[in-house]
Amino acid sequence: MSFRIAVRELCEFTAKTGDLDLRFTPSPTAQEGMEGHRMVASRRGSDYDAELSLNAEYGPLSLRGRCDGFDAARGRLEEVKTFRGDLSRLPDNQRALHWAQAKLYGAMICAQQERSELEVALVYFDIGTQKETVLAENFQATELQAFFREHCERFLHWAEQELAHRQARDAALGTLRFPFADFRHGQRLLAEGVYRAARDGKVLLAQAPTGIGKTLGTLFPLLKACPVQEIDRVFFLTAKTPGRALALEAAQRLKASDTDLSLRVLELTARDKACVHPDKECHGESCPLAQGFYDRLPAARAEAVASAFLDQATLACIAEQHAVCPYYLSQELARWSDIVVGDYNYFFDGSALLYSLTQRREWKVALLVDEAHNLVDRAREMYSAELQPARLAALRKLLPTTLKRPLGRFQKIWDELHEGKINPLDPEAPAPEYQCRDELPEAFTQALQQTLVKIADWQGKHPQDVIPELQQFYFEALHFHQLLELIGPHSFIDLLNPQKSPRSLRLHNVIPAPHLQARIAACHSLTLFSATLTPPQLHRQLLGLPESTQWLDVPSPFAATQLAVHLVDNISTRYQHREGSLGPMADLMAAQYRQKPGNYLAFFSSHDYLQRALITLRERHPDIPLRKQSRSMNEDARKAFLQGFGEETEGIAFAVLGGAFSEGIDLPGRRLIGAFVATLGLPQVNAMNEKIRECLEQHFQSGYDYTYLYPGLQKVVQAAGRVIRTTQDEGVLYLIDDRFTQAHVRALLPEWWQPLRFNTIKQRAVSV
């Protein structure tokens, strides 16, 4: 069994020393980097071989790589690096890394072509000036071979350890047993579907009801498939923190059930949550955990992989012991873990760590996507971008003179765009409240690009002059520009008039499929699971899932007798009817509470509607205990809110549909015995959503359903799913709006809810 590794990866392991240094230095984009490499190659002679593939073996190591250029007649190998700014400010450890990579390629060429000597050159190409700086040195083949052996030997012990770990892992997974005596109802069916998808290398959409143990029911069969299908890594991706906790708990349970199970589990957390010194910058002159980071990394890495179970707390403890940054330690350990648990963005975002590692290391990966009904909206956010001119106006006051002029020109063109002066349909008409475009004028695009170049050039020449507001604007503008280059019929651009709201320019992605398809194709298998994936074609089309995607709808283990579902058919929660809905709705909630006191959740479409309903219920029925979800609750406040649902407590808690308490929380037994859902969850009808509807209608002929109905009903079913969590639970659900009685809406509700009870509430005047 061999250990395959790229030359670049080997050098990063063996040749990186010194500080972690993440000071902002505007680097070329991927496109600029490729153009820079092509420019260098075009300046060479006919004997120049660009992108030369190389391979070598050293014991169990199988090295592969691609040197940027080789001139056989001259006997010169070149490694090309593109950059911006002042080359003299390139850190020494970065330059040493470049030399290591070039010399390893040199050793491989000498061995392959039986050369006795070779000229090795680092070619630094300045994207801004198009100039080359060449650092060249002649080496004897024996010198290069000695260098090659030295670095391979440094990595060899780690490689042998990793090979032994992989063999032990696969052997243990081959005999792994389910950690309980039997599967729950529906859980085996789900597990079989996941295993088949992994076996066949397919995408699976699995709709499975809440309470059957979806996390363990997906993770266990996928791990069983790993040794058979030679799967390198399993990524468990979630939308929210509770999903990560469930995944880690399932992995821990599997490890505890088999003491021979050699399995490394890693939790990835956001940088702002992991950072120990948020007041310091990420470089050795500022942060003590960045100083000498790469010198202390080997010991921290070795202890971490020996620990094997690396949740956020364990990782932070190891990082503290070795005085290294916990966030960047976790980034390193993503390379050496069997199961990685993290947010969606780690694989699906444009600069995703796990997707990048999968591509660079040529991993065979399997993905589990939890609560997958969230992925459409999250992916839309990933591939949308926004610019706010107010931020630019404030920034100009802080800038040096050399930047004020180009940013001033850009702001002027931006103002003209909002005022309708660029390519206006009617030059005399005032700018509308909401503008929508399929593309931006060339004048704006050019001004944006020139602004980015000016900022990058200035920052490259003044790396010590840190202006945080400038960096933030640069990153936002760069993201906007990158997506602007990829704009198509799956996106549109909207502008808001400053008279009605803060003026902004937003590139709005509607169909993330074109951005996600390469990431989906990179997976050996992909399972997306949730309690609400109906209808499956919505997710297939918007996410760009292949035609061969399999669909599994797991029957509910719950009986209709467990949940009494009431459709309240003469209350409307439409915006124009909300005032009239408050009294009847308050009386309905009070009647149900008095009939059976306990813990209830009431869901509303907005904080405003929630507040008005709470006041009305408190005024009409002051004896009923009430509490509410507040705006922008932090993690501690959310925990306190959930702790209010006790076995002995009683009352009605008010929450916003689609918020933190409408999915991903578990309140079994008497902790929650009923719910009121006072909305269909439909997005607001406005100009932007109507543009989304038009776009989806044009592509899929289902504009209204895809924009309004399906997303709204998914939120309703998710919220209702908080009531029945086990086969022993019993509860009640009120769906409050006359539209719930419409046949096409009822068809989207879970089948096991039948029969539905229709409740007509007699409205009565109640003195206040």
389 and 500 both lie in a single domain? yes
Domain for residue 568, yes or no?
A: yes
Mean pLDDT for 658-687 is: 93
Q: pLDDT, tens digit, for every residue of 144-179?
A: 999 999 999 999 999 999 999 999 999 999 999 999
Does 767 map to a domain?
no
The pLDDT of 648-675, averaged and rounded, is: 94
Alpha helices in 263-361 (DSSP H): 271-274, 293-307, 312-322, 326-333, 345-348, 353-361
Percent of the chain with pLDDT over 90: 75
319 within some domain: yes
How many domains is the chain partitioned into structurally? Answer: 5
- What is the token pair recorded at 22? 């993440």
The whole-number pLDDT of residue 663 equals 87
Mean pLDDT of 298-321: 96
Residues 716 and 658 in one domain: yes
In this model, does residue 431 exceed pLDDT 70?
A: no
489 plus 409 within the same structural domain: yes
What confidence score (pLDDT) does residue 421 get? 55
Residues of the domain holding 109:
3-156
Judge whether residue 664 has pLDDT over 90: no
Assigned domain for 140 exists: yes
Same domain for 564 and 656?
yes
232-276 pLDDT, tens digit per residue, is 999 999 998 888 999 999 999 999 988 888 899 999 999 989 999
Q: What is the pLDDT of residue 764?
A: 41
Contacts of 673 (CB under 8 A, 6+ apart): 596, 598, 599, 600, 723, 730, 731, 732
593 in the same domain as 713: yes
**CA-angle at 674, arms to 673 and 675, nearest 5°:** 150
Among candidate residues 141, 156, 171, the one where a domain is terminated: 156
Mean per-residue pLDDT, 700-705: 95
Q: Is 544 exposed, middle or buried (0-12, 13-18, 19+ CB in 10 A)?
A: buried
| Lowest pLDDT segment from 85-94, 285-294, 335-344, 585-594 | 85-94
Omega prior to 209 cis, within 30 of 0: no
**HEC sequence for 504-524:** CEEEEECCCHHHHHHHHHCCC
Alpha carbon distance, N-terminus to C-terminus of the chain: 80
Instruction: Answer whether residue 125 is part of any domain.
Output: yes
Residue 166: alpha-carbon gap to chain centroid: 28
Contact 115, 141 (CB under 8 A): yes
pLDDT range class, residue 91, cuts 50, 70, 90: confident
- 374 and 427, same domain (yes or no): no
DSSP state of 738: G
462 C-beta neighbours (distance < 10 Å), count: 14
Q: Domain containing 26 — which CATH number?
A: 3.90.320.10
Q: Are residues 745 and 627 in the same domain?
A: yes
pLDDT at 62: 96
pLDDT at 593: 98
Same domain membership, residue 310 and residue 283: yes
Element (H, E) at 641: helix 635-643
Residue 503 within any structural domain of the chain: yes
* Residue 459 belongs to some domain of the structure: yes
> Is the pLDDT confidence value at 423 over 70?
no
Measured distance CA(106)–CA(103) in Å, rounded: 5
> Residue written as tokens 């109906």?
534
The answer on 219 and 355 residing in a single domain is yes
CA separation for the pair 390, 376 (Å, rounded): 30
- Residues 378, 477, single domain; the answer is no
355: pLDDT confidence band, cut at 50, 70 and 90?
Answer: very high
- Quote the tokens at residue 698: 């044009």
CATH number, domain of 645, equals 3.40.50.300
Looking at every residue in the chain, the average pLDDT score rounds to 91
Contact 159/3 with Cβ under 8 angstroms? yes
Please compute the mean of the pLDDT values over residues 548-564 and round it to a whole number.
94
- Does one domain contain both 296 and 401? no
CB of 538 within 8 A of CB of 706?
yes
Q: Does the pLDDT of residue 755 top 70, yes or no? A: yes
Q: Give the per-residue pLDDT at 767.
A: 29
DSSP string for residues in 414-473: HHHHHTT-SS-S-TTSPPPSEEEESS--HHHHHHHHHHHHHHHHHHHH-TT---HHHHHH
Report helix, strand or coil for 368. strand
- At 97, is the pLDDT very low, low, confident or very high (cuts 50, 70, 90)? very high
pLDDT in tens, 356-386: 999 999 999 999 999 999 999 999 999 999 9
Q: Which of 24, 29, 21, 23 lies closest to 128, judged by CA?
A: 29
Asked, for residue 213, whether it belongs to a domain, the answer is: yes
Residue 486, Cβ density class (10 Å: 0-12 exposed, 13-18 middle, ≥19 buried): middle
Highest mean pLDDT among 445-454, 516-525, 746-755, 756-765: 516-525
Q: Is 414 in the same domain as 545?
A: no
Six-digit token string for 717: 């079913």
